[in-house]
Amino acid sequence: MRYLVLSDIHANLEALEAVLEAARTMPYDKVLVLGDLVGYGADPNGVVDRIRGLAPHAVIRGNHDKVGAGLEPSDAFNTVARAAIRWTYEALSDDNRDWLADLPAGPTAVDELLEICHGTPFDEDVYVFDDTDVLRAMEASSRRLCLFGHTHVQVGYRLARQSLTLETADPRRPLHIDIADGHYLINPGSVGQPRDGDPRAGFGVYDATRQVVEIHRTAYPVERAQARIREAGLPEALAQRLGIGR
């Protein structure tokens, strides 16, 4: 069984289509979505429709989905994110807004090895940045492998025999993380708004049979996503950051 893992799509339909095209050749059986389908980008309905059409095996919500669906106020967001999420709330169809509002919060167990969450297993809104965060998240996880999102950075942590090691994706080739032994906390990166200086869309594949997590990158027409953001009247900063992957 191979799962395509999508996180932080952020209403970027151009990036999502490119990822689905790239993933066709991998290939995969089922889809997992780690939250933040909407917010920042100009195609919230296009992205939600496309994901719903894929009938994912599991989808959990992210902080932007929660606020975009009207479940929480946008007070915790910065000015740019707040302007975008207010636009998103208005732009969403009633049906898609209801669908987002019904998404479960993580963590969700996928099989005996894997669970998925947005930020951490103990709080969907908390970011994993340093070793302390990693260890806290691993401790809270009910599985040996936890896939997470929220930071928009592709990274993998392995804890085995009391030693924590870090695997960072090499931009030139896909990273394969063998999960045979130890605990793992892995972020497949962001489809629609990467923040590691590489503008290409990030995604992952979890091969449950071979016990490997693959981390991939694929180019997409960034200028088209930027043009859509400008046409929608969303903050210019959101178009700019896609070009530099920050």
CB neighbour list of residue 102: distance below 8 Å, 6 or more residues apart: none
Is 8 an interacting residue with respect to Zn ion (CB under 5 A)? Answer: yes
Strands 155-160 and 201-207: unpaired
Measured from the CB of residue 152, what is the shortest distance to Zn ion in angstroms? 6
Measured from the CB of residue 36, what is the shortest distance to Zn ion in angstroms? 4
In terms of CB distance, is 67 or 134 closer to Zn ion? 67
Distance CA 17, CA 143 (A): 31
Number of residues counted as binding Zn ion (CB under 5 A) = 2
User: Which residue among 14, 36, 115, 196 contacts Zn ion (CB under 5 A)?
Assistant: 36
Measured from the CB of residue 180, what is the shortest distance to Zn ion in angstroms? 30
In terms of CB distance, is 11 or 208 closer to Zn ion? 11
Among the listed ranges 4-12, 21-29, 129-137, 207-215, the one in contact with Zn ion (CB under 5 A) is 4-12
In terms of CB distance, is 8 or 196 closer to Zn ion? 8
Tokens of 188: 């497949």
CB neighbour list of residue 4: distance below 8 Å, 6 or more residues apart: 23, 26, 28, 30, 31, 32, 203, 204, 205
Measured from the CB of residue 61, what is the shortest distance to Zn ion in angstroms? 11
Among the listed ranges 8-16, 44-52, 102-110, 213-221, the one in contact with Zn ion (CB under 5 A) is 8-16
CB neighbour list of residue 235: distance below 8 Å, 6 or more residues apart: 80, 83, 84
Tokens of 101: 């509002």
CB neighbour list of residue 65: distance below 8 Å, 6 or more residues apart: 35, 36, 37, 38, 39, 100, 103
In terms of CB distance, is 36 or 214 closer to Zn ion? 36
Site string for Zn ion, 197-236 (x = CB under 5 A): ----------------------------------------
- Which parts of 110-129 interact with Zn ion (CB under 5 A)? none
Tokens of 184: 């793992």
> Which DSSP letter does residue 104 get?
P
The Cα-based distances of 126 to 121, 161, 197 in angstroms read: 9, 26, 22
Measured from the CB of residue 99, what is the shortest distance to Zn ion in angstroms? 18
CB atoms within 10 A of CB 18: 21
> Which DSSP letter does residue 239 get?
H
Measured from the CB of residue 29, what is the shortest distance to Zn ion in angstroms? 26
Measured from the CB of residue 173, what is the shortest distance to Zn ion in angstroms? 25
Among the listed ranges 34-42, 96-104, 107-115, 196-204, the one in contact with Zn ion (CB under 5 A) is 34-42
Q: Contact residues for Zn ion (CB under 5 A)?
A: 8, 36
